[in-house]
Chains A and B, each alone.
Chain A
Amino acid sequence: SQQGEEDPQALSIQEGENATMNCSYKTSINNLQWYRQNSGRGLVHLILIRSNEREKHSGRLRVTLDTSKKSSSLLITASRAADTASYFCATGYLLTQGGSEKLVFGKGMKLTVNP
């Protein structure tokens, strides 16, 4: 399966703590992306890391990618109650036909940040 798998499936922390989410996948990827989904809303893109990158930062987000272990982690520092949401990793594949591409989403993990 090309689908990434998030771990843990649910995480509950206190405001101000850091949250770490992991994603493992099975086949070679072109890039890996993290998305957030608030209840009843569409997914929102957070960050993209290419297969030749090892670490990337965006505000309070830090993502790492280890292609040898086929895993990625998303760290949210100094969490806020507003970070409460479901988080998805999406593995990006370049298909051979016509240069088209494909994103495969994991099932997501639920983060609860308690005030």
Chain B
Amino acid sequence: DARVTQTPRHKVTEMGQEVTMRCQPILGHNTVFWYRQTMMQGLELLAYFRNRAPLDDSGMPKDRFSAEMPDATLATLKIQPSEPRDSAVYFCASALGGLAPREQYFGPGTRLTVT
């Protein structure tokens, strides 16, 4: 049963601390997305990778957020320093990339609370 996994599922941290979220995409999927979901803004695309290369991170605050894919089985999203406005649910999704947008498979999310 192939699925996207994310860790941790919940994270509570104090303002100023570094937060790292991890995602394991479905084996064989070559496109990975990071989204942030809040009540006010809905689901926002932060960044995405194709074959481990960043293709679009225009939705990400560059001064504090960074996203990487150290290898094909791991994607990370880091916030340093964290702020209360970063509180949200962060989702990772993976897909088989191609010439047209494909269905995306979402992980369960990391619920981040910054106090």
Q: How many residues of chain B are within 8 Å of chain A by beta carbon?
A: 25
Cβ of A43 within 8 Å of any chain B Cβ, yes or no, is yes
For the complex, would chain A's binding face be called helix, strand, loop or mixed by DSSP majority? strand
Contacting pair A102 B45 (CB below 8 A): yes
Bound Cα distance from A33 to B95, whole angstroms:
14
Q: Is A41's CB under 8 angstroms from B108's CB?
A: yes
Total interface residues on A, CB under 8 Å, equals 27
CB-based nearest A residue for B53: A98
Give the distance in Å from the alpha carbon of A46 to the alpha carbon of B50 in the complex: 23
Name B's A-contacting residues (CB within 8 A): 4, 33, 35, 42-43, 45, 48, 50, 55-56, 91, 93, 97-109
Contacts A42-B91, A92-B101, A94-B99 given; indicate if A105 touches B55 (C-beta within 8 A).
Answer: no
Give which listed residue, B50, B91, B97, contacts A43 with CB less than 8 A: B91
From B45, B100, B101, B107, residue with most partner A Cβ within 10 Å: B101
**Given the complex of chains A and B, what is the CA–CA distance between A42 and B107 in angstroms?**
6
The docked-state distance in angstroms from the alpha carbon of A33 to that of B106 is 14
Q: Could you tell me which A residues sit within 8 Å of B by CB distance?
A: 30-31, 33, 41-45, 48, 50, 88, 92-95, 97-108
